[in-house]
Amino acid sequence: MHTAIQLYTIRALERPLPELLEAVADTSLDGVEFAGLEGSDPAEVAATLERTGLEAVAAHAQREELEEDAEALTQTYATLGCDRIVLSWLDPEAFATHEAVEATADLLAGLGERVADAGGSFAYHNHDQEFTTLESGRDAFDVLFEHLEGEPVDIQLDAGWAVAAGRDPTALLERYGDRIDLLHLKDVDGDEPCGLGDGDLPLEACVDAARAADVEWLIYEYDNPADPAGALERDSAVMASLLE
């Protein structure tokens, strides 16, 4: 497995994207996951990736971006050597009822086809709203990915949000491992993101389950660290120690 960071983690540093990449390159992390290019020239970003040796693992995108022009978005990130596009969020209403979940599955399948047609691969990143209990007594998450069986939509499991919702991320990795290449390793204290090892996420068990599932990338994310630079330094070291 390899390690990366979701760049949303260090957005508060308010530096140009190439400088953020340089900061990541100073750690033991192997790659980055984008959360937009923040107006940066893709050619400059690509040059920084090449110079630093960082791999562009994936890119988070919003529903509106994908619906507007999934092909252009996919091709832009392809210039950075990044072929994975991840839908980062859907509103809780998308998982509120069985009918809503079916409609959401249709939406994701359509977006996945558009990304695939443009030469990329597509995944959906969960928060906690996907684990709501439907009128049938089942979790929306399970119903969603049952409907997406065979569609070009992978799972980017966020282990921390699963824990916040009361689910066991190791069980999810065991059940859905063949559809998970990218695992977000986020720790949570209750439902609040925190530093790795400071919350409720069973870190070592998650890493063991990820290995067993042949997950390719562990991606560190911390939504709102008080000290982004310090969090990057500390938690990248934690990530490295977990893989020793």
- Closest by CA position to 10, among listed 228, 239, 199: 228
Instruction: Look at residue 228 and give its three-state secondary structure.
Output: helix
Task: Note the helical H segments in the chain.
Answer: 17-25, 42-52, 63-78, 98-117, 140-147, 159-164, 169-176, 203-212, 228-242
Q: What is the residue whose two structure tokens read 């982004």? A: 228
pLDDT tens for each residue of 75-113: 999 999 999 999 999 999 999 999 999 999 999 999 999
Over residues 181-186, mean pLDDT: 98
In whole numbers, what is the pLDDT of the chain averaged over residues?
A: 97
**Separation of alpha carbons 127 and 147, rounded Å:** 19
Q: Assign residue 218 a region (left: φ > 0; alpha: ψ between -120 and 50; beta: otherwise).
A: beta
Do residues 90 and 63 make contact, with C-beta atoms less than 8 angstroms apart? yes
The dihedral over CA atoms of 50, 155, 92, 198, expressed in degrees to the nearest 10, equals -70
pLDDT per position as a tens digit, 20-60: 999 999 999 999 999 999 899 999 999 999 999 999 999 99
**Average pLDDT for 161-170:** 98
- Closest alpha carbon to 194 in 221, 167, 163: 221
pLDDT of residue 31: 98
Query: In angstroms, rounded to a whole number, what is the distance separating the alpha carbons of residues 243 and 188?
Result: 20
Q: According to the model, what pLDDT value does residue 213 have?
A: 98
Average pLDDT over residues 206-232: 98
Q: How far apart are CA 131 and CA 143, in angstroms?
A: 10
- For the segment 106-121, the average pLDDT, to the nearest whole number, is 98
pLDDT of residue 182: 98
Percent of the chain, pLDDT > 70?
100
Instruction: Report yes or no: 23 and 13 within 8 Å, Cβ to Cβ.
Output: yes
Spatial distance between the Cα atoms of 37 and 110, rounded to a whole number of angstroms: 24
* Residues above pLDDT 90, as percent of the chain: 99
Please give the pLDDT value at position 234. 98
For residue 88, the model assigns a pLDDT of: 98
User: What pLDDT is attached to residue 109?
Assistant: 98
Residue 13 confidence (pLDDT): 97
